[in-house]
Amino acid sequence: MKKIVILATAFVALASVSYAQDVVVQYNTDISRYCLTNTRVGSRAGNIELGGSNDSHVSYEGTWYYVVRGLNDMFGVIASSDYNRWLIESQYTDIRFLGSFNDYGLFAIKKKGSWGVADHTGKVIIPCQFKDFGSSGEDVTFYPWDGKQFTLRYHDIVNGTFQLP
C-alpha cells in the first residue's frame, strides 16, 4: 500500500508540471541540486529533483530526457514530450546516459546491484544482470558476475541484432 501511495503522489507531482513551455531546468540552492521547475505564475508545483548534476538531462531526436529522483528515493526518467508521466518508472538505484546518448538513445539502468540497458522509449532491452559496464567509442562492455566480460556495439543493441552470452 505504501508503494502505491508514493507512486500516486509522484504522478500527482508530475501532473502538476503540465506545460512544457513552463518547465525549465534550474539549480535549486536550497537543496544544492538541479531540478525541473514550473515557472508558470501562480503555479503550486514545486521542483522535481534531477539526478544530482547538470549532466542529468540530454537531448535525443529533439526530445529532452531527464533522470529524476522519485519520492521513493529511486531514479526514473521523464521526457520533455510528456512531463505528465514516467518514461522509465522510478525503480532504479542509478540511471546513466549510455555512451553517446545523442546518437543511440540508450540508458544504463541499475537495479538490485546489477546493470542493464533501456532505450529512449523506456523499454528494457538488456535485463539488469551485470556487475558493471564500461563504454568507449561505439561499444559497451559488460562485466558479468562470473567475470567473463563481453562487448556489444551500440548499433546492434538498438537494432536488436545481438546475443547475450
Going through 39-149 in order, the beta strands assigned E by DSSP cover 47-49, 57-60, 63-69, 75-79, 88-92, 94-97, 106-111, 114-119, 124-136, 139-144
- pLDDT range class, residue 133, cuts 50, 70, 90: very high
Top-confidence residue, 126 or 44: 126
Q: Which three cell numbers stand for residue 49?
A: 529533483
The alpha helices in 37-153, defined as continuous H runs, are 101-104
pLDDT: which is higher, 82 or 48:
82
Mind listing the pLDDT tens digit for each residue in 18-66? 334 466 666 767 666 666 666 666 555 555 666 544 457 788 888 888 8
Could you tell me the residue ranges of all domains in the chain?
1-92, 95-165
**Mean local confidence (pLDDT), 98-119:** 92
Element (H, E) at 23: strand 23-28
Q: Does domain 95-165 have CATH number 2.40.30?
A: no
Only one residue has cell 532505450, namely 119
Strand order in the sheet with 94-97: 94-97, 106-111, 114-119, 124-136, 139-144, 150-153
Reduce the DSSP state of residue 142 to 3 states and report it: strand
